[in-house]
Structure 1
Amino acid sequence: MSAQSDGPYGPLIPMPELTPDALRNAVARIAPSRLPALTQHLFEATTNAQQTQSLAPVRAFLHSWAVFVAIERHPARAERLRQLEHVVDAGELDPAEAVAGIREIREAAEAEVGADPDWYG
């Protein structure tokens, strides 16, 4: 795991390694209700990897859950994302600013994950 920020407003947990076990442990700590979804996604990814004889499905799983953890380990970031998604889902306001905010949050999370995009297949 990478180093945790100092101060009371830092992340809840350090960013985990990009392995299924490390991501599962992180999700268990910060969003335990999402463990069934992670487990199902991992099962599907490994099944697809076997069927296609490619690691791309497993890499996509790792990326998806690493980004999820990178967002959720920062409670304010996660709450802001939920607010922005609500604006888009509600369809009552022009979603342009909300979409831009969602993109910004996801880009920050992807930067935290730090893996080379070519690594994912």
Structure 2
Amino acid sequence: MTAPFPPETDLDTLLGQWAAAPVAGAPVDVAAILVLPQERETPLRAVAAWRPALMAASLALVVAVGGWLGLADRFVPTTPIEVAASPSAEAGAGEADAAFALVFTPTAAEEDLI
């Protein structure tokens, strides 16, 4: 068990003494403050700052897409490319029907709901 704090270390007492202590204020020269330039609201011109960048990006996009569309026919292969598939990869008609029926046939519980 701890002993109670002595009154000189009681937090409430210390805070009360601090709040009651006199505060030495610094002199404020109001005339010097009023002579300084005052802050004024700036006009909303920040939006116009990004317009040149937006126009440059738009032009770059138009040039890039136009070049891509213009050169697309040059890269079409002249001979068709055939990809050989293994026979096991090709599903027969019966296998495709069985896979479709397995996925899309409702169960008995689903049939009762319908």
TM-score of the superposed pair, with normalisation by structure 1 = 0.21
Q: Greater helix percent: which structure?
A: 1
TM-score of the superposed pair, with normalisation by structure 2 = 0.22
